[in-house]
Structure 1
Amino acid sequence: MKRQIKSLSEKISASEGQGTESDILHALKVCQRELERQNEVLRKARLDLEKSRDRKRESECLSKKILNNIEEGCITIDRDYRILTANRAYAERVGASVDEIIGRYCFEVSHHLKRPCFENGEDCAVRNVFATGTSHIAVHNHYDAASAPVYMECKAYALVTDDKGEVQTALEVVTDISEKRTREAEIHRLAFYDPLTCLPNRRLLLDRLEQSFIAGARNGQYSAMLFLDLDHFKALNDSMGHDVGDLLLIKVADRLRTILRKGDTVSRQEDTVSRQGGDEFVLLLKDLGPDMRVAITRTGYVAEKIRASFDQPFIIENNEQHITASIGICLFSGYDITVHELFKYVDTAIYQAKAAGRNNVRFFDPAMQATLEESSALEKALRQTISLRQFQLHYQPQTDSYGRIIGAEALLRWNHPSRGSISPSAFIPLAEETGFILPIGRWVLEEACAKLKTWSEIPAASGLRIAVNVSARQFRQPDFVAAVQQIIEATGANPARLKLELTESLVLTDIADTIAKMRALGDIGIGFSMDDFGTGYSSLSQLKRLPLEQLKIDQSFIRDLGVGPNDDAIVETIIAMGRTMGFNVIAEGVETEDQLSFLIRYGCDAYQGFLFSRPVSAAAFEHLLTLGCLDRK
């Protein structure tokens, strides 16, 4: 435009120079027409701009109306997590006006937090959009004033990006999905749970059975199915009415749940109690161990505890109702049995239990039933061992490479008057399962400390240390530290001469509790050895945190020394690692000169095994102490 006016001005100037009036008028008319044309262009452009602004205002107004009329809460958020805009639904959900929301942090308004929710480990949809540029969905839950769960689904999208493609503004759509979750939970409950007792139904039991098959095939552990049928339930139901019968079934379900959740034995939270219909219940016990006898003992103990619990009446509408139960059992591991066969076998077992007079427990396999009866008899005998003084401690010497006795491991022995010598492998698992390991463990500590005091007067035993195995159950007792301190004080034993042996699995179950107890006892001089080292899964980071003084190489590695390169390398590595970390290393199960030579070559500190001595009685051990040095067998 400016160039055109300048050109016309030059023409007028030129015309003036040439002096013709008509040329000047012509030039002015051309200029006027050009100006009028340009004004028209500007007018149309202004009108188009106004129309565009109007359309934009209308669009924004429409968008605002739409956003304010949809049920989902919508907000736009900048990279500082501040809210730029919000719709009415969002404002109503958070209980504030839109003006009060704008400019505040989204985590402050949405979650009532002082810091971003992702710093608490939550999945944040908006953060994911800023980080990746792609949409993301996250679900957050909290509880309302009535303690009811509230589930919010947050969908975030990229709204505005800069020249580099980085998201500068995100749109978040927030939907309350609590009702949806409630409906889904109700559908799941109806599909997989018994409506009367709220126990898993047959469909869910079959799913968990499949999981047990898979786990057993992988880890070799046994599982068990217990089929429980209430004795004479139909007669009670007919005489007392179905309402009372239903209440009784609910009470039975609660009692079965309680027995598995809490009891004398370890909690069995992973097990399943299900109702199959009528008065039939099925219990699925998992991870009973790889040893069949131990699995039978553990299963039988749970079954007997359930059966015995029915001795207590059920209180229904302020009246006592008495009923007994018959239980059929089948053990399985992996896919050694089909689901159809499993139900068939427990059905047969419960028929046998009822045929034996009801209120009984029966295994499908007669051999397993015999094992259970043997365990039951053994349990009764076990409860009398301490009072009848049937337990003894034997001591297996621990030596240096020259055969000099530097310590001993206290080993429990049970000499029954009619059964003879009973192997610890037969009664220790039973003692663990029944909880009798606690008084047994205390007796062992008391006896070992008493001997420590007695032997402290023998010159050859002045530096002797006795190692005592501590069970996981015993160690986890809240008063374990106090109990050990009390025994030390009562016996007068030197705590620096006592060493407690802990297994890797025990140590790693609750490492914080383990360290606290080890330090408390270490403060009075008691030492700790990690038993069966190499068979667990402890890491170096965990190992260095433990106040240990000794690692005991598991005898399975010593037994296979020289058989293959792997065991040689494992033992060599354990010794080297122990020495590097400042631990004393002892090998158990040393039986040959070749094993001893290998261990000496790689710097093992101490030895225990038949090469030097079998476990012997206290009197025989005192005699060995007077010898001072043991000849190798």
Structure 2
Amino acid sequence: MGVDAATMVPTTEVILARLRAFFGVDHTCLRYNDHEIRASIMIAECPSRDVIPDPDPLGVVYFEDADEVFAQAEHMTDLIYGRPGSGTEGYQERVREGAAAMAADVVGDGVPEASFLAAPLVSAGVPSGFISLTKFGDREFDADEMNAMRAIAALFAQLKARIAAEEQLRHIASHDDLTGLSNRRALLEHMEERLAPGRPGPVATLFIDLDRLKALNDFLGHSAGDQFISAIARRLRDQTDPRDMIARLGGDEFVIVPALSLGAAAAESEAQRIRKLIGERVELGGEKVSRSVSIGVAVGNPGSTSVSDVLRQADQAVMAAKASGGNGIAIFTEEMRAQYELRDDIELNLRHAIESEALFLHYQPEVDLRTGRIEAVEALVRWQHPTRGLLYPGAFIEVAEATNLAGEIGRWVIRSACQQLADWRKAGLASDIVLRINVSPVQLVSLDFVASVDQVLAEFGIDGKSVCFEITEHVVVQDLVRTRITLRGLKDIGVQVAIDDFGTGYSSLAHLKALTVDALKIDLGFVRRLGEDADDLAIVKSIVGLANSFGLGLVAEGVETVIAAETLISVGCYRAQGFLLSLPVAPSEIAKLLTTGYISVDFSVNDEVNTN
């Protein structure tokens, strides 16, 4: 029979009707054995009863409490045959109770005892159910009829086994091996249905990402990590609405789609409950462990929001939650949408920007606050985006690092800046100016970085001491061994190195002692409020003292007010850059400044600062 799980019952009812007519009996039925609960379960019958009593004596019959016939059905592998007066009083009573609900033309005025024939369904030697014929009154079944029922039961047994195998394959295809939860495929199918036009909404989606599961794996082993994930899956399954869709996407990521229609506020409340639920301890091998969790929440509307949109939004929300330190909940917002649309746009167009020369450099002077003399210029990359206008590094460098384009951009910056310095010097400018260039982590740990820098310097006839690479503090500790090798190589070719954004919490005295650096640049976060914030002043004084102790140069970033400039002079930091002195400007504007070599430090007339 070409049937599946969905069509099996109605198709069986048609066949039972044919068997009833062929054998001239009053009732036919198909029953399956459930050996886990030790019961015989009605699957289909003909005729259907008009009224089914509660409890139904024929619906589910537990073998432990069964009459003599049903008790045999648990283990029978051959026919059971009975007639009135054959010692089947308990079964006859059950048949009478069930028959009382049949149509009047079947039962008649009374319900006599019945004759019956039950043929077992046997798969691999195990009885999986039976198909039966019942005739009210006395009826003898001959050998041919019995053999026919054996053959029919064998066909039904094959059908049951095939459908069970198909269901098992379908289950495997739609469920996660480790946890038994739904997988991505099942999740997508469920969400397609939930978000179809006309379905009730809104539809909330909770994207769950366990925090720092790797630490648990490292400490207890990967098998413990799998046990932990399985325990969390059981907890979610046991303590959520059974109608909720719970899926594991792999690793430590889960998605819950509540069955109820939830708006953003209600979904956030449910996320809070889930966060506390997952945060409870799990016992593994005698250890009680727990992990915090980040949850991203997105809400879609049937007919207007696609599955991919909702899942992407929930994923972006959970990324925001993790970026905030983890153990939190983030709701997808329109502001978040704009942020990620920009990120996607940048990722799609950045490589073309590099190849089509849409990137260019501005330069910001570094000045001696006492004299106004220009000591250095910092090269700062810009991108003239075709639709979004001028973009600054903060908008695209992170994307460049994530897409392995940071190194390519870095090489372009070094080459372009050195070429510009060479052009200025050909014009008789910048003979004693230092060119400062920011270097990404990718460049710093590249094995050929020093050699490539040496090649560019030689190409444009620039000596190493005219260039200073700026590296951020977190780059120093990211790969300390490789960083030290690179810095020693730069020192060998005469290139200076400065630690940028100094004071933001990564460096230590041991690192400063171990690394061959020439200068520190005080992070603008400590400079902007000088003269107003005593804590910032204390930090700046400490950095000045540290630089003096190690014999390092010192530059302050972000000088925007006169009082900040004056405070820096008073504590012994004389070199600075910032909007008070000059914005980053085009090479032609720098050329004009370099012609004089000075920027006015008459702060009484420069107190108005443009911070755009």
TM-score by length of 1: 0.47
The structure carrying a bigger helix percent of its residues is: 1
* TM-score, with length taken from structure 2: 0.49
